[in-house]
A and B are shown apart, each in its own frame.
Chain A
Amino acid sequence: MKRLLDVLREDCALTGTKEGCGEGECGACTVLIDGQAVNSCLVPFAQVAGSSVTTIEGLTGAEALQSAFIREGGAQCGICTPGMILAAVALPKDADLQDIRRGLAGNICRCTGYEGIYRSLRAAAIPARAAD
């Protein structure tokens, strides 16, 4: 019955996944299970057997987004940032601002008013589109 969150943080020493509330409200503990964003504070560890779990430490291919979070003010205190980045990675590829707002509604940020986060996503998307 152990939470995925605790296994990650204590057993795996992957402390990039944060606990903000323990009640599935803040999204700071967001990880990806088979590519889908979940709150790891509400996931029984037993249920992830055979699944792929991605934490901020194991995230690959999001370098542009991560850099943008630093440059564009997407991260301030940083406690919501790993969860926010993982939720952003799980957004549909063609997400517009309203999709982004809906997709990130499960991640509370108390520092930025979300504007810096939108800027970060926009900034990261531009080179990605150019490369397409």
Chain B
Amino acid sequence: MPAVGQNVLRKEGRGKVTGAAKYVDDLSFPGMLYGSTIRSTIPCGRIRSTRPEFDPSEWVVAGVPDIPGKNVIALIEDDQPCLADGRVRHVAEPILLLAHADREALAGAKVAVDYEPETPVYDPAASPRVFKEILIEKGDLGKGFSRAARVVEGEYRTGHQEQLYIECNGVIAVPENGGITVYGSLQCPYYVHKALVVLLGLPPERVRVVQTETGGGFGGKEEYPSMLAGHASILALKAGRPVKMVYDRVEDMLATTKRHPSIVRHRTGVASDGRIVAMDIDVLMDGGAYLTLSPVVLSRGVLHATGPYRCDDVRVHGRVVMTNTPPNGAFRGFGAPQTLFAAEVHMERISEALEMDPVRLRELNLFRPGDTTATGQVLGADCSAAEVLREAVARTGFDARRQALSGTNAGIGLSLFFHGSGFTGGGEVRLASRASLALTPTGARILVGSTEIGQGTRTIHAQIVADALGIPYENVEVSDADTACVPDSGPTVASRTCMVVGKILQNCALEMKARLGSLSPARYLELHGPLVVTREYEKPAELEWSDETYRGDAYGAYGWGCNVAEVERDPDTFEIRPVRLTAVCEIGKAIHPTLAAGQIEGGTAQGIGYAILEEVVFRDGAMANAQMTNYVVPTTLDTPPIDVVILESAYPHGPHGAKGIGEMPIDGPAPAIVNAIRHMGVDLRQIPATPERVMEASCVSP
């Protein structure tokens, strides 16, 4: 029986339910010290001096001079120092590192830092520095607007969002073999590896990064672990002893990355029959103090900014800018939830302006196979916007519910969305990811740099390999994500682990099967010795993309989604209570239906938090509510029943037709919920839709 499509037993599950699974804080090494970070308390300025208020002789204290290599976190541009060198650009920027054998001693270790403050920038619209600017143009905007019977304009805002994985960021750096080994909670071992090689000035083979069991990532452990691993390594190399650094919740929230806030403006020309004839979209994102991954976040943001709607005359202009706040970074969805929120709430406003049924308006404009996107990509047969919309509307009895709830303190709304799987065309080519498969006496062992962070990487990879080799799922093992023994499969991000890495593994397995011929694995090993097949990403021939012009096939494939949210508003407290959320997702192929549903349910719940609860309060450039008491995410009682429907329309270049799934579920809930609130006559255009905002909007309703 094939493994793909079955709910096989997940590979790493046992240890998680018995407490045996080892997360980084569960590990200990002989002679290990505990490290901590002295951070800036001002958003912007020069450091005049630092003075430890303790006896430094008992401590390991490391600063910029202790960095063996280059003081940068190597990523896209090397603009972010590992330790502030004379000046700081955000609150909580690392300045000095301490280590001590007694963990309790860290609590009392204070360092006086003397600053020369400068004026910070918090308003992205007033930022003096643009990290990245992208322009997408299609057709002739002026001509488009000249055909419009109506023009609808609007501005939409989204706030920061904290990933809030339940396991905080943490690493242990162990000096060994003339180099460093880092164990850590992380998504991308090779990002960390690359950063450490530059920072520590070590040859690549002297740097080893091992992912430990990881208690959630959601993007929050994509780029930040490079920083933390750098800190622990600097201390460990200086001390000559292992150093553990595990953030507490406050530090994790104060210092690490969040979702980029956005301000998106839409100006849309609509013909009298409801067809969209011109789209002019301006996207502004707040990147925080350093560039980090902001250009890529912006890229995904602008590539999804039109929503899943066809239009001949389009302009999307995007900028991500510097502010004096901690750098924003990767978070599930990666720019798309922001622009799709704007697109879908704007769509609702168009339907209100035209007094047109929201489903009808979307049906009229949605992408169908053969349509071209804003970048000129011709959508293939797997384009499922119409199917997901139809299914969601039918399943929820949308029209009847909408009529029934009109004028009550309840509302129903929907959102239609799409999400590109993997990196952009050019991105995957540059990554040139590799995956390996080693023959074992009973089957094969998977060697990939992709990490298991709860989403089921190991399980689905093993399913794909098992079926390609034609062996039982149980006979496929998965190696730990350890740079000493697995190739660089690219980062575990961007909904690419199944579609892209899974496909490379499938190719490995097919090649291995061909090599085996009629031999059993054991027999092959006996006859020919060890066999490791390594394959690299192969760009489908028809994909064309230009980073210069932003024209072409932005993504190999898109997943398609439609959410319907039913909510209630408490008339006295303005609290929004989601009653039910229906999530229809077309993902190509569900390799493991339970895991796939788990991705949709979890992403939807995070999207619900994004929509109504989660608000990062900044005061003087610092997160003021950096505790779980005050930054609230959905509990069981905040999360409504989530009804998941998975549709499958195969992508020819994905393993078994699979596309990405991890990120898309978070794109839909916020606009669906806000549109449900709008159904109650509340003109809301911003998330989170806190009771305070709903109150304000309720009081000025049209």
Contacts and interface: CB of A to CB of B under 8 A. Distances in A.
Interface stretch (B235-243, B271-279, B284-292, B596-604): B596-604
Interface in B377-406: none
Nearest to B628: A25
Given A25-B628, A57-B19, A79-B23, A111 B633 contact: no
A23 B19 contact: no
Q: Is the interface of B mostly helix, strand, loop or mixed?
A: loop
B22 interface: yes
A53 interface: no
B187 to A, nearest CB: 11
A70 B13 CA distance: 5
Interface string A100-132: 111011111111111110000000000000000
Interface string A68-112: 011111011111111001000000000000001110111111111
A102 B636 CA distance: 7
Contacts of A85: 17
Interface string B1-43: 0000001011011111111111101100000000000000000
B249 interface: yes
Interface residues of A, number: 49
Given A15-B19, A71-B7, A77 B165 contact: yes
A77 B453 contact: yes
Contacts of B217: 77
A111 B636 contact: no
B226 to A, nearest CB: 20
B642 A113 contact: yes
B213 interface: yes
- Give the dominant DSSP class at A's interface: loop
Contact of B248 (A22, A26, A73): A22
Contacts of B19: 14-17, 55-57, 82
B63 interface: no
A77 B213 CA distance: 8
A70 B166 contact: no
Interface in B563-618: 594-595, 597-598, 601-606
B49 interface: no
Interface residues of B, number: 56
A73 B594 contact: yes
Given A73-B595, A108-B635, A66 B17 contact: yes
B36 to A, nearest CB: 15
A23 B20 contact: no
Nearest to B456: A76
A26 B602 contact: no
Contacts of A114: 601, 605, 636, 639
A48 interface: no
A21 interface: yes
A66 B606 CA distance: 25
A42 to B, nearest CB: 12
Given A15-B26, A113-B601, A114-B636, A79 B216 contact: yes
A78 B167 CA distance: 10
B365 interface: no
Contacts of B18: 16, 56-57, 66
A110 B164 contact: yes
B637 A105 contact: yes
Contacts of B602: 76, 110-113
B384 to A, nearest CB: 23
A25 to B, nearest CB: 4
A70 B14 contact: yes
Contacts of B127: none
Contacts of B168: 20
Contacts of B248: 22
B636 A105 contact: yes
A102 B21 CA distance: 28
B545 interface: no
A87 B613 CA distance: 24
Given A75-B17, A81-B16, 7 more contacts: A15-B22, A16-B18, A80-B166, A101-B636, A110-B165, A110-B602, A115-B598
30 contacts: A17-B19, A18-B167, A19-B25, A21-B628, A22-B249, A25-B627, A56-B17, A70-B9, A70-B16, A71-B9, A76-B216, A77-B165, A77-B167, A78-B12, A79-B23, A79-B216, A80-B166, A81-B17, A101-B636, A101-B637, A105-B637, A107-B636, A112-B601, A113-B601, A113-B602, A114-B601, A114-B605, A114-B636, A115-B601, A116-B601
Interface of A: 9, 14-23, 25-26, 28, 55-57, 66-67, 69-73, 75-82, 85, 100-102, 104-116
Which 5 A-B pairs give the minimum distances between C-beta atoms? A16-B19, A79-B215, A77-B454, A78-B16, A113-B605
